[in-house]
A and B are shown apart, each in its own frame.
Chain A
């Protein structure tokens, strides 16, 4: 009896006590590597030109511009896209055949991106451009399957190689 009351009271005490993942606001060992992956240096004095090239590149990739603030060198964009993954569906079919229960598979995703320019501290007359991608993925039952930062190096390489063609400037590695 006493045990039951304690158990029932527990949720009331738990509420309000939330633990944030430790290190959520700490630089990680991988921070520098990720920064290098997401950043390129452009030898230009024209920040606006670099920003608008970034906007044009995002449009080429099907993104909708959500926000811009040229005085801090920022472009925010997003797009809704399909998230169907053939391998995942095959896996779910196999599981369904074996167990008779089918699980959810990814269906839609919203990709968000911010493109930021900043004067290069050590090289006056050049700007750094940094791009970061993240996404929310929903499954075929309409539930959020996962939320994540995209850290695939190829995506960043491809973005910058296309951007450097657009601005007729070389995208230099840090």
Chain B
């Protein structure tokens, strides 16, 4: 009995690890949150027609936050950047027109090897961006 007692925790651990550690589950995303929920956390709408100006201000905001830009595409409206500060954060920010008068900005980030899902982090990012743009960041409907 005593012997079983000492083996039991090891078995529990093995089962636990087997249950939650499967590398494939990360391929298509492995979050508890729904995609809709994540999208709304990561997205804001700005009242402007000027896509290029928004992309340039994303670059400037990321530089203010100590990121080094990895790449950007004015036509696609994408910016990717990396921050190294004892840790690594990678961000991609995209700009797409919404109707005739608005731009939708979507940001997603990775902290070391984890997806960033904390809404506060995105609020902070969009606060910096809206200050840089002199525009208000509206939540997506």
Task: Name the prevailing secondary structure of the A interface residues.
Answer: mixed
- Interchain CB contact (< 8 A) of A118 among B9, B56, B116: B56
Q: Assign chain B's interface to a size class.
A: 35 or more
0/1 string, B6-49, CB within 8 A of A gives 1: 00111011001100100000000000000000000000000000
> Which residue of the partner chain A has the closest CB to B71?
A67
Are A5's CB and B89's CB within 8 A? Answer: no
Q: Assign chain A's interface to a size class.
A: 35 or more
> Which residue of the partner chain B has the closest CB to A31?
B64
0/1 string, B88-121, CB within 8 A of A gives 1: 1100000000000000000000011010101001
Are A20's CB and B84's CB within 8 A? Answer: no
B42, chain A: closest CB distance, angstroms: 12
0/1 string, B49-93, CB within 8 A of A gives 1: 000100110011001111111111111000101111111110000
- Interchain CB contact (< 8 A) of A112 among B5, B20, B55, B68: B68
- Say yes or no: A20-B116 contact (C-beta < 8 A), given A1-B5, A15-B20, A149-B85: yes
Residues of A at the B interface (CB closer than 8 Å) are: 1, 4-5, 8-9, 11-12, 15-16, 18, 20-21, 23-27, 31, 34-35, 38, 66-67, 69, 71-74, 76, 112-114, 116, 118, 130, 132-136, 146-149
A1, chain B: closest CB distance, angstroms: 6
Are B59's CB and A72's CB within 8 A? Answer: yes
Are A118's CB and B124's CB within 8 A? Answer: no
Show 30 A/B contacts (Cβ-Cβ < 8 Å), sorted by A. Answer: A4-B9, A8-B12, A8-B16, A9-B13, A12-B17, A18-B112, A21-B85, A24-B121, A24-B124, A25-B124, A26-B124, A27-B128, A35-B64, A38-B63, A71-B75, A72-B52, A72-B59, A72-B79, A73-B59, A74-B69, A114-B68, A114-B69, A114-B81, A118-B59, A132-B63, A132-B69, A134-B84, A136-B84, A149-B68, A149-B83
Closest 5 pairs between A and B when the two form their complex, measured CB to CB: A71-B74, A25-B124, A147-B84, A114-B69, A12-B16
A36, chain B: closest CB distance, angstroms: 12
- Interchain CB contact (< 8 A) of A134 among B20, B56, B82: B82
Are A76's CB and B70's CB within 8 A? Answer: yes
> Which residue of the partner chain A has the closest CB to B15?
A12
Chain A residues with CB under 8 Å of B83's CB are 24, 134, 149
Are A74's CB and B12's CB within 8 A? Answer: no
Chain A residues with CB under 8 Å of B5's CB are 1
Chain B residues with CB under 8 Å of A71's CB are 52, 74-75
Are A25's CB and B121's CB within 8 A? Answer: yes
A41, chain B: closest CB distance, angstroms: 14
Are A76's CB and B84's CB within 8 A? Answer: no
Are A25's CB and B68's CB within 8 A? Answer: no
Chain B residues with CB under 8 Å of A134's CB are 68, 82-84
- Say yes or no: A74-B59 contact (C-beta < 8 A), given A5-B8, A67-B70, A132-B68: yes
